[in-house]
Amino acid sequence: MYKKRSFWLTVVAVSLFFLFIYVAQNSLDAYIIRILNVAAIYVILGVSLNLINGFTGQFSLGHAGFMAIGAYASALLYMSPQLKAMNFFIKPLIWPLSEIQMPFFPALLIGGLLAAGAGFLVGAPCLRVKGDYLAIVTYGFSEIIRVLFNNLQSVTNGPLGLKGLPTYTNLWWSWGWAIFTIFFIKRLIDSSYGRALKAIRDDESAAEAMGVNLLYHKTLAFVVGAFFAGIAGGLLGSLVMTIDPNAFNIFLTFQIVLIVLLGGLGSITGTVIMGAAMAFLMELLRAVEVPMNFFGITIPGIPGMRMLIFSIILMIAVLFFRRGIIGDREFSWEGFISFFKGRPSRGREGE
């Protein structure tokens, strides 16, 4: 009974949300729409990283690498041959890629699948290492991708990057994928597979003794996480219209890790809230990067000041809110309803 009610409430909420998207896409100004798009991309990134870091307990710093693969692969597929020729003026793009052009959706999908493939290649051998070592290896992977893309002139155009990308990304694409990501990963972690992942997080040896295939399930988390990171990369490329390898550096990964940590390891609700909040915060904090006048003292605008503030937020979070804004609790309709009825809610693990 509860399950059925929750299902319909979710359907209604998602419909209302898409109605909001429809109104927003048609009436809000371009600046706000852009922030909302970025918010969706952060949500996809945060939720997919949380699958690896929060639910499976594998500390990965490879998300920027997966994003780069998705962004480049999809861009090279949806760009028109003329645009490619204009971009690749130092060294021409290698043959089949220079002729292919396909619509946005399949391009995005292939980008995601290639990122998932990278997730598999990285995941399988990497998972022999644990904890801090895994973080170092995955960070290494992400750097290798960056350096590789900087030097594969005839495929990625090297440090020149790809410019003038067509802007397909709108609120429908970005939030559509964000909702799908939330749906997919929420259902995954609530399924039998999800229980196996959480068992690995809680106690690897015990999980193995209960018959959980460690290699398979850890790789699974990496593949699924990398797929959505690749999709987010593709969406981001088409949103900002230009991509270059150095955009996918450790600071990008750091931002996503921040979303996951502040939102709460193991909480999709917290990650969604934090991902969306991060997009707005990044814009609001632009204020600190312009020159300021304090009682006659002029402080010059320093680019990157925002990251300093985020670092401070991260330190405060680690010291005082170690479990993020809502710990590992999740939103549930039962909890929501009993909150308004004034009854104490069970609070966790509900549909």
Residues 6+ apart with CB under 8 A from 142: 61, 62, 63, 64, 65, 68, 248, 250, 253
| One of 167, 213, 242, 311 touching another protein (CB under 8 A) | 213
Is 212 among the residues that bind another protein (CB under 8 A)?
yes
Is 344 among the residues that bind another protein (CB under 8 A)?
no
**Distance from C-alpha of 47 to C-alpha of 266, rounded to nearest angstrom:** 9
Percent helix, strand and coil across the chain, each rounded to 5? 75, 0, 25
The interface region with another protein, picked from 93-101, 136-144, 191-199, 281-289 by CB under 8 A, is: 191-199
**Distance from C-alpha of 37 to C-alpha of 176, rounded to nearest angstrom:** 11
Q: How far is the CB of 109 from another protein (least distance, A)?
A: 15
Is 328 among the residues that bind another protein (CB under 8 A)?
yes
| One of 14, 80, 147, 202 touching another protein (CB under 8 A) | 202
Answer yes or no: are the C-beta atoms of 83 and 164 closer than 8 Å: yes
Burial class (CB in 10 A: 0-12, 13-18, 19+), 317: middle
Q: Which of residues 193 and 321 has its CB atom nearest to another protein in the complex?
A: 193
Is 196 among the residues that bind another protein (CB under 8 A)?
yes
Is 226 among the residues that bind another protein (CB under 8 A)?
no
Is 209 among the residues that bind another protein (CB under 8 A)?
yes
Is 11 among the residues that bind another protein (CB under 8 A)?
no
Residue whose tokens read 């350096």: 147
| One of 91, 128, 130, 195 touching another protein (CB under 8 A) | 195
Is 280 among the residues that bind another protein (CB under 8 A)?
no
- Which of 266, 119, 113 is closest to 197 using CA atoms? 266
Is 266 among the residues that bind another protein (CB under 8 A)?
yes
**Distance from C-alpha of 48 to C-alpha of 232, rounded to nearest angstrom:** 10
**Distance from C-alpha of 175 to C-alpha of 21, rounded to nearest angstrom:** 8
Q: How far is the CB of 266 from another protein (least distance, A)?
A: 8
**Distance from C-alpha of 33 to C-alpha of 244, rounded to nearest angstrom:** 23
**Distance from C-alpha of 289 to C-alpha of 304, rounded to nearest angstrom:** 7
Q: Which of residues 213 and 242 has its CB atom nearest to another protein in the complex?
A: 213
Q: Which of residues 91 and 346 has its CB atom nearest to another protein in the complex?
A: 346
Rounded to a whole number, what is the largest CA-CA distance in the chain?
68
Is 220 among the residues that bind another protein (CB under 8 A)?
yes
The interface region with another protein, picked from 89-97, 114-122, 195-203, 335-343 by CB under 8 A, is: 195-203
Q: What are phi and psi of 47, to 5 degrees?
A: -65, -40
**Distance from C-alpha of 131 to C-alpha of 96, rounded to nearest angstrom:** 41
Is 335 among the residues that bind another protein (CB under 8 A)?
no
Is 207 among the residues that bind another protein (CB under 8 A)?
yes
| One of 214, 240, 285, 307 touching another protein (CB under 8 A) | 214
Is 184 among the residues that bind another protein (CB under 8 A)?
yes
Q: Which of residues 207 and 229 has its CB atom nearest to another protein in the complex?
A: 207
Q: Which of residues 10 and 246 has its CB atom nearest to another protein in the complex?
A: 10
Q: Which of residues 163 and 203 has its CB atom nearest to another protein in the complex?
A: 203
- Which of 178, 212, 176 is closest to 195 using CA atoms? 212
Q: How far is the CB of 143 from another protein (least distance, A)?
A: 30
| One of 18, 139, 193, 331 touching another protein (CB under 8 A) | 193
Residues 6+ apart with CB under 8 A from 45: 63, 67, 228, 229, 232, 256, 259, 275
Answer yes or no: are the C-beta atoms of 105 and 265 closer than 8 Å: no
| One of 208, 301, 315, 316 touching another protein (CB under 8 A) | 208
**Binding stretches for another protein (CB under 8 A):** 184, 187-188, 191-193, 195-196, 198-199, 201-203, 205-214, 220, 224, 266, 328, 346, 349
